[in-house]
Amino acid sequence: MRLRARYLTLAAADLAGGLTAAVMALSFLHFAYRSGPLHATIETACGMIGLLAAFLVFGRFRRTGQLDDLALAIGLGFLACASLVFSAMPWSLLSTDSMRFSAWTSLVGTLLGAATLALSSVMPRRQLWNPARAAGIALLVSAVVYAVCAILAGVFEARLPLGIAPTTKLPPAGIPHPIGAHPLLVAQLACAILFAVAAFGFTRRADSTGDVLFKWFAPSAALAAIAR
């Protein structure tokens, strides 16, 4: 008997939520460590894994020619670029300016990726008339949009609030309360909602079609939503 996608998604969400609650409630659990090389290594690994997933899904799109597969590949590409280019590299510089630029550009990429994943999970499957041309246009537009956002972040970098200043003291364990710049917190909340929508859409599609790909993307999206 195969485990249905909805149970995998619920199990992933429950596990991540339980661990998050334990970290917030128990003072002896430490979930963050200030280490530039470690952060850069983790973000590099996330970016490389995201690129591999995007490459594999794009190969699936070349075989199927479906619009939702193209959107899924682009969404994964946004997430991979956010981790590999705009998070791992600035972390290696370890300056206040690089942290501000990294926070905003990586968050914009995550927001774009989450929105594209959510869209791909709910859009109807549609066969493209010219998949190669559609892929070229979509990739070009996506790259231009992200590049423009990065340029704007660089131009207005001095005016952008820093997410969490390095001198900020973390609150003691207990009742959680948000810290950091409000615009970043709102954007993170939007990412969490979009990832949750993607998890719901992938779960429903996996249960209705039996597609193994969406069966595993659903709990992954749920984990991403809790991780915000």
Cα→Cα distances 44→2, 86, 102, Å:
34, 10, 14
For the segment 53-65, the average pLDDT, to the nearest whole number, is 93
Q: What is the pLDDT of residue 17?
A: 73
Binned at pLDDT 50, 70 and 90, residue 28 comes out as low
- CB count in 10 Å sphere of residue 39: 19
Q: Which residue type is seen at 5?
A: A
pLDDT exceeds cutoff 70 at 174:
no
Handedness of CA 49, 209, 202, 24 (dihedral sign): negative
User: What's the pLDDT at 115?
Assistant: 95
Q: Distance between CA 11 and CA 9 in Å, rounded?
A: 5
pLDDT (tens digit, 9 = 90+) per residue, 193-213? 999 999 999 999 988 888 888
Residue 40 pLDDT greater than 50, yes or no: yes
Q: What value, to the nearest 5°, has the Cα angle with vertex 13 and ends 174 and 112? A: 100
Task: Say if residue 86's pLDDT is above 60.
Answer: yes
CB 102, CB 40: distance < 8 Å: no
Give residue limits of the domains in the chain.
35-163
- Mean pLDDT, range 52-58, rounded to an integer: 93
| 121 band by pLDDT with thresholds 50, 70 and 90 | very high
Alpha helices of the chain — where are they, by DSSP H? 5-25, 36-64, 67-83, 89-93, 96-122, 131-155, 182-209, 212-227
Per residue, what are the HEC states of 35-56? CHHHHHHHHHHHHHHHHHHHHH
Q: How confident is the model at residue 78 (pLDDT cuts 50, 70, 90)?
A: very high
pLDDT given at position 1: 47
Cβ atoms of 198 and 118 within 8 Å: the answer is: yes
